Structures are given as structure tokens and as C-alpha cells.
Structure 1
Amino acid sequence: MNVMEVTVVVVMVLMISASGEGRVAAPIEYSAISCRGHTASILEFGGVGDGKTLNTAAFQRAVNELSKYASDGGAQLFVPAGEWLTGSFNLTSHFTLYLHKHAILLASQDIKSWGVVDPLPSYGLGRDAAGGRYISLTFGTNLTDVVITGENGTIDGEGGVWWQQFHKKKLKYTRPYLIEIMHSHKIQISNLTFLNSPSWNLHPVYSSDIIIKGITILAPVTSPNTDGINPVKSGWDEYGIKYGMPTKQLTIRRLTCVSPYSAAIALGSEMSGEIEDVRAEDIKAVNTESVFWMTGNYGSHADIHYDPNALPEIKGFNYRDVVEENVTMAARLEGISGDPFTGICMSNVTIGMAKKAKKYPWTCSEIKGITSRVVPQPCSLLPDKGRDKRVMCDFPTDTLPIDDLKLQKCSYVKNYL
């Protein structure tokens, strides 16, 4: 995907006050995959940002009205400072949702008011319960050219009530996500803070050409399944195999993650629809559960109809230029009996073991690979090739389509009257 960079000329508008004095409105500027020809505020559709008034209908009216401009330059909906209580609302194509830095979208805690949608076809069942799924807070399907951005405004899922019901096993359906985009193309989610999602935060699925950047995601470490960004789940058992839509050409850069009860980056679970060509660089994991952990024994199935003989092919993992400190376990690499994980390569890896580390820091079974300049000494299934230059575990040098994306400089003038 190639997007031409466009220079937008900002026209300064002179605003005339009641006293007759004029002042120039300050433009709001941001970068996006597309700029819009029309702008409106949620206030124009009856929105009230007092944290108490339910704004679901106001948001949906706004989106429906602004969808009329899809073929005429598109439209953006501005959410000013305030606390905007809302239930789920759908998005539209050629549309930007923009949150002011002091704007907070508050998800309604009235579980009964949330609509229900079918399970994902590659899942067959809901993940929390056998039924369908509560629709996500912001939802879209079959869309093109959508931007959700702001000045680091906040989307707060107020997930406490959902977590309680989940732990009590009282939910009939899978918990909602904060943003779910399905069967869509050319999506940007940027410069926002996400708080306390009921479940996963961002879930782009069956979609392409997606850019997610400048995002802060916060939730208590004990909150259940509040995954940050979840594009890598390609399906569950026979449902994922049948749907046949792999996750591929995924690039992760400049990620900082604090996750004491989970991994910084996880590929799977639910990967029966295949995962390929995932690239991660410039990653900082703080107090994380694991760095080098591969297992074929996750033990989760959608139902009893899966084929136990449908074994995956897991191969081609390159790790290089990694430094770890205060680690209790260097690596836990466990393939599947009779179906080993192959093509594992590690080079230039230094693992600083904690004082109370395991006596044997490497756990390896059913794997094949090589290492170079790895400390402490790897397990025998990963033979050390020393400084052999052929063992570089190189990062791919080819570019992906998303690497060619150039954001436009967008702006609009805020009306102070």
C-alpha cells in the first residue's frame, strides 16, 4: 500500500467575539493515513460529557450522519474534553474519530445493555463462554480507511464489573473488547490511552494494512485476559483450519511491556489458521513472565471435535541481540512429541541469571536449532557454533507493504464559539 504524502495548507480563521474583538482559532494537527474534508463535534449530536449521561445514541447518530461524506472527502468526529459515557457504537468508512487530550470515553457498566454478536467464524465458539460475544465498544466490519486517534485521549473500559462476573462464571457470552475491526482495510489506531478493558484491548481481525502506534495500554496485572493488541490469533482448532485466514506480515517495533503474569509478545494461543512472517525489534520487556518460551502443550480447545492428529509445523525462529537481567529461567523450549519445533536460531544473547535461578537454566525437548555467542551455555539440542559468521540469525532485510506507508499531515480549526 502506497499513500502519497500530502501537504495540507492550514487556513487560519478569524473568530469574532461578542465584544467585537477577534482572535485566531488554534489549529489541531495530527498525522494520519487520510485527512478529511468535513468535521463535526459530538456536541452537535446531543453529546454530554458529564460522565453520567449515556451518549450511545449521540455517537451513533454522529457516525451515521458523517457517513454521508464518505465519497466527498470523508469526515472526522471530534470528541472534546469531558467524560463521555457510552455503550457500543459502530464506525463507518472514510472516517476519523478524534479524542481531545482531556476526552475520556467511558464504557457503560450496564452489562444488559450490551448487544451480542456471533462468535468469530475461525473460533466457532466464544472464548469465555460457548455462546456469542458481547459487541466491542467501538466496532466496525467491512470498512475502508478508518482512523481512531487523538492527543492521547483515553478510552476507559471500566472492566472491573466484567472481571468480577468472569471470575464468578456468570457471563453468558465472551466479554467485549475496546476496539474490534473485522474484514476491513487501511486502518489506523494511534496516540491514545486504553484503560481497564473488559477483555482484549485492540482486536483487528480478518483485516489488512493496519497501523497501530503511539498507544499506552494499562490494566491491573491480575486482570483476566486483558491482552493489549491481539492480531496474532488466527483461529481455534478445526474452525481456524477451515476458515483458513493466516496472520502474516506483522511488524512490531518500539514496544515497552510490563507483564509479570504473561509474555511481552505471544504468538498464539489459537493459531490453527497459521501464523507466518512476524518481525519484532527494539523491544523492552520489564518484569515479564518469559522471553524464550515455546510450548506445544497449551491445552485449550474449542470443543471435543478437534483432530488430535492435526499437528502444526512450527519452524523458523530467529533471536539475536538480546540482553536479559535477573532471570530465573533462561529458556523453556518444548516442542510436541513426534513433531519437533525446528529452525531455532539464537545469536549474541546474554542472559544474566538471578541469584535464585534454576540450577539447570535451560529446558529443552523436541526442538532443533543452533546458537552462537549465547550465555549461559545452551542445551545440547541447540549446539553452540561459536563465532561462526554463518550463524547470524539475521533479521529480514526485505520490506513489507506497511513499511512504505507515509502518513499525511492533517489539521482542522477548532471553533471556540
Structure 2
Amino acid sequence: MNVMEVMVVFVVMLMTFASGEGRIAESGEYSAISCRGHTASILEFGGVGDGKTLNTAAFQRAVNELSKYASDGGAQLFVPAGKWLTGSFNLTSHFTLYLHKQAILLASQDIKSWGMVDPLPSYGHGRDAAGGRYISLIFGTNLTDVVITGENGTIDGQGGVWWQQFHKKKLKYTRPYLIEIMHSHKIQISNLTFLNSPSWNLHPVYSSDIIIKGITILAPVTSPNTDGINPDSCTNTRIEDAYIVSGDDCIAVKSGWDEYGIKYGMPTKQLIIRRLTCISPYSAAIALGSEMSGGIEDVRAEDITAINTESGVRIKTAVGRGGYVRDVYVKGMRLHTMKWVFWMTGNYGSHADSHYDPKALPEIKGINYRDVVAENVTMAARLEGISGDPFTGVCMSNVTIGMAKKAKKYPWTCSEIKGVTSRVVPQPCSLLPDKGQDKQVMCDFPTDTLPIDDLKLQKCSYVKNYL
């Protein structure tokens, strides 16, 4: 074959690949807690990315087949560019789900096709209704070493049909989440965009060693209960570099509901939140509770930006909750256009059922805020403890709050609160005396390292040829 013939063959090969015929190579690099020894494409399992063909069976076949590599380097399932309509599917251990930057997972809008799971034992009750729950779009339980990542690919919950049914009170069961991982260890969710979840977006529960990083979550600000990230009875969790626009709390920290959460007794602890940007006009950038009956402790949040959000950090609890929220540390908040900067509520009244214990009082203690700048604020703080059960150890230092033109006459309302402040403007209520004159106070923020920061990401790669 002469040079000209070689060139002709080469050109034909290029044209073949460009026309979609023959084998196509996809490759790339990404960061993950674990790299995999095997790669497959959803196309190999009958997947069709036309936005119309239902791929639920293809995804489940792929996961089931790739699970055989769990003890042999694990496996990654590559989802190429396209629109992949699917119902719920379950994950397996030592597994990576990887979405191409132009890949979109579309959740099925056929409500009747969604399976059911029981209420969570620490809740004893569905969040939307007393019965069970629709299974989440991507679901896993009792897993180890799972990565859900990509090149900022998209998972679209197409939640409009669920929101309509919820508002019409036609749902018999609690709406699905986009991702729920239960009773699992070593989980990563990163570099993805989540759109229009039927309800909560990301729900790790009863799990440990979790990294959620580099994600975008978007939903209409009027959509019901579209919380961004809800770590629930989890230990050693790191959430960082998140941009969230939602109809509910951007991050909601939880640990069970009333008597069920008290009995289950599994707290959320060792939680890091860094570099969060939030827009949520009707909710908080970070909420602790209201389901906190198993306890919440050692929460460290820093570098938080909130714009047009109802409150910066909100603690929600009530008589009957029991449990505790303690050792919370927040520093470096930049807030613009807020109803409240600080909000603590001891009368958040929704209960799982009528069997809660009215003697179960929550403990709210050791809540620290420092280095906060806010602008265009209607009210600096609304701090309402419980009669006979005050919230204690509240500390605020180096806080400057610029009030809106139509701000409330009294910027602070306080009851059943004990604590101190230093260099806080406008002047706090008398229950939070200013110690700046006689002894300058700097509220605590831990300097030690939590174990989740020792879980380092590796540089991983994939090369996948497919027809």
C-alpha cells in the first residue's frame, strides 16, 4: 500500500468515526476515592439515549453485571452523551457511575412505575404521608465504596408532575429523592448538576465517610421541599463547593423524628460544610433540624454565601423532639438580602404522629458564629428557646449586619436564650450581653482535623470503546 492509499484509508476511518459508524473511543480523567479496574458503557446493556426509550432495565442489568468485579478492582459504568430516560435503579459496592458532560439522566414521570420502600426507622412515618416512600431515582443500601460523578453531567428529576400531585394532596406516599444512600460507607457524589428533584435532592442516611463536592442543584424557588443536601444520621461527612438554588433549605442536617429518632439514637456528627453558595427565598442556607431527635453535634461550616435567602443558619426544634444540637461552629458568612441572619426556633410544631413524648426536651448548646457580614436584612435575629429549656452557650463575634430600609423597628427578638457577643452590630438583645468592652470574645472554631479530611481523592481515568 503506497502513501496515497494509506492516507485514503486514514481519511475513511476518520469519516467513519465522525458519522457514528464503527467503534468510538471515550476517555477522560477524574478524581475519586477509588479508581476502578473495569469499565463498561450503558450502551453495552441496551441503553438508548434518545430521551424516549425507558432505560431502567438497562441500568439495572449493567449494575448487576458489573457487581461481579467488586473483588477484582471494581467497575465503572460510563454514560455517554444523550438523554437517558430511566426509573429507579440500585447501585452496588466498589462501583462508579460516571456521566459524560452531555449526558442527562431523565427521571420517569410515570408515578405508577415507581417502586416503594418502607419509612425510615428513625422517622417511623413518611414525610409527605403516613405510609411508605417512593424509592429514590438512584438508590443503594449496605454498600461500600460508591462513586457517583462525571464531567458535570446532569440528573434531572422532572419533578413538576410530583409537585402538582403533592399540592393537590393526591400522593399516598412520600415523593422520591434523586439519590438516597443508606447504611453505607465511603461514598462520593461529585461534579454533577441536579435539576428539579421531586423532593429532596441528595439524602445520605445512616452512613459514614461521605464526600459531596463540586455539585450544582437547581429547582424553582417555589417548588415544595426540594432541599439540596440532607445528611441524616451520618458520621464523618464533607460537603464543599456546592451551588444550590432551591425551594427549601440548601443544606438540612437531620437525625430522626420525635420518638422514632430518639429510639433509633443515631446522631449526625463530624460534619464539614465549606464554600456553599445558596439562594432560597423561603428557607435557610443551613438548617439544623427540625428532625434532630437522634442528635446533631460537631458541625463546622465556613465560607458560606447566601443571597436572597430567608435565613443564614436556622436551628429548628420543638417540645417532643428530644435529642440535641450542640457544638456547632460557623465562620465566614457573607449574606445579602435576608429576612433573618440568625434564627433559632423551639416551637417548630410538626410531629410524626400523636405519640411523641411531651417531656422529651431538646438540648441546644454551644452554637458559635463568627466573622459574619450581611446586607439588606429585615431582622438581625429571631432567637426563641423553650420555656424552662433555654438554648445555652450561644456565641456571636465580629458580626456586622446592615439593615434594610424597611427593616423591623427592633432588629433582635430573644427569649429563653443564654450566651455572649462581641463586636456585633446592631447591638444584640440583653440576653446576649456584649463582652467586647471589658473582655474581647472570639467565638470558637476548631483547629483540629476531622477524619473525613484525611480521605484523599485519587486521579482516576477511563478509556471506553463502544459501538
TMscore range, shorter length: over 0.9
Mapped partners of 2:267, 2:40: distance in 1: 38
Residues 3, 406 of structure 1: 8 Å contact kept:
no
Per-residue CA deviations over 1:360-399 (Å, capped at 9, x if unaligned) read 0101000000000000000000000115665100211111
Aligned partner of residue 7 in structure 1, secondary structure: helix
Per-residue CA deviations over 1:247-277 (Å, capped at 9, x if unaligned) read 1011000000001010000001111111111
Mapped partners of 2:162, 2:215: distance in 1: 23
Superposition deviation, residue 414 in structure 1: 3.4
Higher mean C-alpha deviation, range 378-387 or range 336-345 = 378-387
Superposition deviation, residue 64 in structure 1: 0.0
Higher mean C-alpha deviation, range 263-272 or range 390-399 = 390-399
Unaligned runs of 5+ in 1: none
Residues 295, 334 of structure 1: 8 Å contact kept:
yes
Residues 8, 410 of structure 1: 8 Å contact kept:
no
Q: CA 1:228–1:214 in structure 2 vs 1: closer, same or farther (change >3 Å)?
A: same
Q: CA 1:298–1:29 in structure 2 vs 1: closer, same or farther (change >3 Å)?
A: same
Superposition deviation, residue 15 in structure 1: 14
Residues 118, 133 of structure 1: 8 Å contact kept:
yes
Mapped partners of 2:96, 2:56: distance in 1: 17
Q: CA 1:343–1:35 in structure 2 vs 1: closer, same or farther (change >3 Å)?
A: same
Per-residue CA deviations over 1:280-310 (Å, capped at 9, x if unaligned) read 0000000110130000111010000001111
Residues 182, 207 of structure 2: 8 Å contact kept:
yes
Higher mean C-alpha deviation, range 49-58 or range 378-387 = 378-387
Structure 2 equivalent of residue 161 of structure 1: 161
Structure 1 equivalent of residue 446 of structure 2: 396
Residues 160, 198 of structure 2: 8 Å contact kept:
yes
Mapped partners of 2:437, 2:3: distance in 1: 43
Mapped partners of 1:3, 1:390: distance in 2: 82
How many residues are aligned here?
A: 417
Per-residue CA deviations over 1:116-146 (Å, capped at 9, x if unaligned) read 1000000001010000000000000000000
Residues 206, 245 of structure 1: 8 Å contact kept:
yes
Residues 40, 464 of structure 2: 8 Å contact kept:
no
Aligned partner of residue 309 in structure 2, secondary structure: coil
Mapped partners of 2:119, 2:88: distance in 1: 17
Residues 318, 393 of structure 1: 8 Å contact kept:
yes
Mapped partners of 2:430, 2:401: distance in 1: 17
Q: CA 1:354–1:40 in structure 2 vs 1: closer, same or farther (change >3 Å)?
A: same
Mapped partners of 1:21, 1:157: distance in 2: 32
Residues 2, 404 of structure 1: 8 Å contact kept:
no
Higher mean C-alpha deviation, range 333-342 or range 8-17 = 8-17
Per-residue CA deviations over 1:156-212 (Å, capped at 9, x if unaligned) read 000000000000110010000000000000000000000000000000000000000
Mapped partners of 2:48, 2:131: distance in 1: 34
Mapped partners of 2:5, 2:361: distance in 1: 46
Mapped partners of 2:413, 2:69: distance in 1: 58
Residues 422, 440 of structure 2: 8 Å contact kept:
no
Structure richer in strand, relative to its length = 2
TM-score, normalised by the number of residues in structure 2: 0.84
Structure 2 equivalent of residue 96 of structure 1: 96
Residues 140, 181 of structure 2: 8 Å contact kept:
yes
Aligned partner of residue 10 in structure 2, secondary structure: coil
Superposition deviation, residue 9 in structure 1: 31
Q: CA 1:11–1:193 in structure 2 vs 1: closer, same or farther (change >3 Å)?
A: farther
Mapped partners of 1:247, 1:10: distance in 2: 59
Residues 137, 176 of structure 1: 8 Å contact kept:
yes
Unaligned runs of 5+ in 2: 232-252, 312-340
Residues 13, 25 of structure 1: 8 Å contact kept:
no
Mapped partners of 1:141, 1:227: distance in 2: 21
Q: CA RMSD in A?
A: 7.1
Q: CA 1:388–1:3 in structure 2 vs 1: closer, same or farther (change >3 Å)?
A: farther
Mapped partners of 1:314, 1:29: distance in 2: 45
Kindly indicate whether structure 1 or structure 2 has the higher relative contact order, using CA contacts under 8 Å at least 6 residues apart.
1
> For 1:288, which of 296, 299, 309 is the aligned residue?
309
Residues 371, 382 of structure 1: 8 Å contact kept:
yes
Q: CA 1:172–1:19 in structure 2 vs 1: closer, same or farther (change >3 Å)?
A: closer
Superposition deviation, residue 405 in structure 1: 1.5
Residues 249, 276 of structure 1: 8 Å contact kept:
yes
Superposition deviation, residue 413 in structure 1: 1.7
Q: CA 1:68–1:7 in structure 2 vs 1: closer, same or farther (change >3 Å)?
A: farther
Superposition deviation, residue 8 in structure 1: 36
Residues 50, 82 of structure 2: 8 Å contact kept:
yes
Per-residue CA deviations over 1:1-29 (Å, capped at 9, x if unaligned) read 99999999999999997999999956300
Q: CA 1:333–1:51 in structure 2 vs 1: closer, same or farther (change >3 Å)?
A: same
Mapped partners of 1:337, 1:6: distance in 2: 87
Higher mean C-alpha deviation, range 230-239 or range 379-388 = 379-388
Per-residue CA deviations over 1:301-359 (Å, capped at 9, x if unaligned) read 00000011110111001000000000001000100111000000000000000010001
Mapped partners of 1:31, 1:294: distance in 2: 38
